[in-house]
A and B are shown apart, each in its own frame.
Chain A
Amino acid sequence: MPDLLKQLADLLVYRWFGLRAGAHLADALDFFIYDVIKILLLLTAIIFVVSVIRSFFPPEKTRQILGRKRSWVGNILAALLGIVTPFCSCSAVPLFIGFLEAGIPLGVTLSFLISSPTVNEVALIMLLGLFGWKVAVLYIASGVGIAIVAGIILGQLKLERFVEEYVYQIKVGAADYVRPTFRQRATDAWAYTGEILKKVGPWVLVGVGAGALIHGYVPVNWLAKVAGRGNPFAVPIAVLIGVPLYSNAAGTIPIVQALTAKGVPIGTALALMMAVTALSLPEAIILRRVMKPRLLAIYFGVVALAIVFVGYLFNAVIR
C-alpha cells in the first residue's frame, strides 16, 4: 500500500509535472503529496472505525461501569474508557457532573477527563504516519499512564470540598437511550468523519507542508543546542510554554515535526504537544464552572508534572 502511494506521488511529480528527481523543490513536493494522501487515507479509515467502536460506549454505559468500581481499578478503567467514550471538550462539564452524581470518586472521574483529550485519535494517526508505530504506541501508553497516575494522586488528595457545592446537589435525570441500529451507527460515524476531516484537513496540509519544507531545506540549527539533550530543563520549560497555548492536535503536529527535525528530542517535543492539547486556558475556563480555583490549580499542576515525567521517559527510551 505505501509503495503504491509512493509510485502515485512519483508519477505525479516527476512524470506529469515534469520535475527533476533530486532537485530540492521536486523532492519536497513528492514528499508532500505522498504524506498528504497517506495521512488523509489513514484519517478517514481510522476515524470511521473508531467512531463506530465509540458508538458502543455511550457515556451512560461508562457511568454505569465506573459506578461499581473503586479507586485503582477505577482509575485504570476510566483512563481506558476515556479513549473510547466520545466527547468534545464542551461536554467535559456535563460529564463531570454526571459522573460525580453517579457516585464515581473524584479521582476516577478526573482520570477519565484527562485521558480523553490527552489521547487524541487525530494526533495518533499523524504520529503514526509521520514518525512510525513506535512513537504512536508510546504516545498512547504515556497518555493513558498520565491519566491513571494523575487521577490516583488527585484522588488521594481528598479534594471533594473544592468542587463547587451545587454540583453535588444536581439530580441527573435519565434520558431515554435508544439502541442505534448498525446502519445508524455507520451513518453517524460517516458524518462525524466528515466533520473531523473538514476541521483538521487544512491543518494536515500545513503540518505536512512544514514537514516537507524541513525535509527539503532546513538545516539543524541553534534549537538543538538550546532545547537539546544538553539542557536538563528543556522538558519542564516546554510544558510551561504549552499549557497556556491552545490548538487542536493536528495543528500541533507540525510544531512537533519542526522541532524534532531541528534536533529537539522527541520527548521534549511531545511534552509540548501534550501540554497544548490536554491543558489549555479555554478548558480551564470551562472547568471553572464546576471546580473551585484551588482544585483547578492542583488539577493543572498534577497533570503538568505527569507530562514532564513522560517527556523525560520518552527522551530516555527513544534515541
Chain B
Amino acid sequence: MEIRVLGIGCARCNELEKRVKDALAELGIAANVEHVTDLKEIAALGVLMTPGLVIDGKVASQGKVPSKDELKKLLGGGK
C-alpha cells in the first residue's frame, strides 16, 4: 500500500502522520508512508485543505485529522 500524507509542515499534518503510523501498526499492515510538502503535487491531487491523506493514489480525506478508528477503516478497506 502506498500512503501519502499531504501537508506543508503544520502541526495537524504531523499529527495525521503519527496517527496513520499508529493505525498501521495496530492493523499489522506494512506500508510506505510518505509526507508530501511539494505544493505542485498537493494541488495536482486536487487537495485544497491540508492535511490530506492519499491512499494508493486516491484522496481519502482532507482538511481534517480523522480519529484512529476512522483511519483503520480507511486503511483496512484499501486492501
Q: Are A175 and B50 in contact (CB under 8 A)?
A: no
Q: Are A90 and B12 in contact (CB under 8 A)?
A: yes
Which label, helix, strand, loop or mixed, suits the secondary structure of the A interface? helix
Cα distance A89–B44 when bound, in Å? 20
Q: Looking at the complex, which one of A90, A94, A286, A289 makes contact with B48 (CB distance below 8 Å)?
A: A94
The minimal Cβ–Cβ distance linking A66 to chain B, given in whole angstroms, is 12
In chain A between 54 and 111, which residues have their CB closer than 8 angstroms to a CB of chain B? 58-60, 63, 86-91, 93-95, 97-98, 101
In chain B between 27 and 79, which residues have their CB closer than 8 angstroms to a CB of chain A? 39-40, 42-50, 58-59, 62-67
| A183 in contact (CB, < 8 A) | no
* CB neighbours of B9 from chain A (8 A): 90
Cα distance A170–B43 when bound, in Å? 7
| A172 in contact (CB, < 8 A) | yes
A-B pair count, CB < 8 Å, reads 77
Q: Are A91 and B46 in contact (CB under 8 A)?
A: no
| B24 in contact (CB, < 8 A) | no
Number of interface residues of B (CB under 8 A): 25
Q: Are A98 and B64 in contact (CB under 8 A)?
A: no
Knowing A98-B48, A188-B64, A195-B65 are in contact, say whether A88-B8 is a contact too (CB < 8 A). Answer: no
Q: Are A94 and B40 in contact (CB under 8 A)?
A: no
* CB neighbours of B46 from chain A (8 A): 172-175
* CB neighbours of B62 from chain A (8 A): 175
* CB neighbours of B63 from chain A (8 A): 58-59, 86-87, 91
Cα distance A59–B63 when bound, in Å? 10
Knowing A60-B48, A175-B46, A175-B47 are in contact, say whether A90-B7 is a contact too (CB < 8 A). Answer: yes
Cα distance A91–B45 when bound, in Å? 14
The minimal Cβ–Cβ distance linking B52 to chain A, given in whole angstroms, is 8
Known interface pairs A88-B50, A94-B49, A175-B47; 18 further A-B residue pairs with C-beta atoms within 8 A, sorted by A's residue number? A87-B63, A90-B10, A90-B12, A90-B50, A91-B48, A94-B42, A94-B50, A95-B49, A97-B43, A171-B44, A173-B46, A174-B46, A175-B45, A175-B59, A176-B58, A191-B65, A191-B66, A290-B39
Question: Which B residues are within 8 Å of any A CB, using their own CB?
Answer: 7-10, 12-13, 39-40, 42-50, 58-59, 62-67
Question: Which A residues are within 8 Å of any B CB, using their own CB?
Answer: 58-60, 63, 86-91, 93-95, 97-98, 101, 166, 170-176, 188, 191-192, 195, 286, 289-290
